[in-house]
Structure 1
Amino acid sequence: MAIRVLRELGKKQSEDFGPGDAVPHIEAVHAAPADPDVAEDPEDRTFCGKQTQDMERVNYQPSDPGAPWLPPDMGEWECRTCAAALRSQ
């Protein structure tokens, strides 16, 4: 099964620079099934059930079926629910 990796972004005020615009930060990294009609796109919901439309796609594809589903440098933001769903596939 092909998957798409997505970043759920949030915004928070910078603590270092005083008042100003909120800066984006990663809330979580999710996985979603690839859309069967447009393989580059995710389906409407992640494996944990969140809507994908406002998430940012990560340009990453596992190298083989046994490879980790998300980039190693994003492990601290892994959605555990998505990870558990992928393990049960």
Structure 2
Amino acid sequence: MAIVVLREPRKELSQDFGPGDPVDNIEAIHAAPADPDVSGDPDDRTFCGKSTLDMERVYYQPPGPGAAWLPANMQDWECRDCAAALRSQ
């Protein structure tokens, strides 16, 4: 099964209390099944059930069988529910 890795952004207000733009931070890294109709796009929901509409794609493919489903530098933000769902597949 093909998966798509997605970044769920977290919006925070500017720390300087000025007119600055919100700053993007990572809320979580999710996995979603690939859309069967559009190659490379995620399906409507992640494996944990969240909508993929406002998530950003992380261009990553595991290098081989048994490799982590997300990049090593993003493991601190791994969605545990997505990871559990992938392990049960």
Q: TM-score, normalising length from structure 1?
A: 0.92
List runs of 5+ in structure 1 lacking aligned partners: none
Secondary structure at the counterpart of residue 86 of structure 1: helix
1:20-68, Cα deviation, whole Å (9 max, x unpaired): 2211111000000011111200100000000001100000011112110
Q: Which residue of 1 aligns with 2:28?
A: 28
User: What amino acid is the match of 1:50?
Assistant: K
Q: Which residue of 1 aligns with 2:86?
A: 86
User: What amino acid is the match of 2:57?
Assistant: R
Q: Which residue of 2 aligns with 1:42?
A: 42
User: How many percent identity over aligned positions?
Assistant: 69
What count of residue pairs does the alignment treat as equivalent? 88
List runs of 5+ in structure 2 lacking aligned partners: none
CA distance in 2, matches of 1:10, 1:69: 21
CA distance in 1, matches of 2:59, 2:29: 12
Q: TM-score, normalising length from structure 2?
A: 0.92
Q: Which residue of 2 aligns with 1:7?
A: 7
Computed over aligned residues only, the root mean square deviation of the Cα atoms, in angstroms, reads: 1.0
User: What amino acid is the match of 2:12?
Assistant: K
1:14 positional shift: 3.3
Moved over 6 A (4+): none
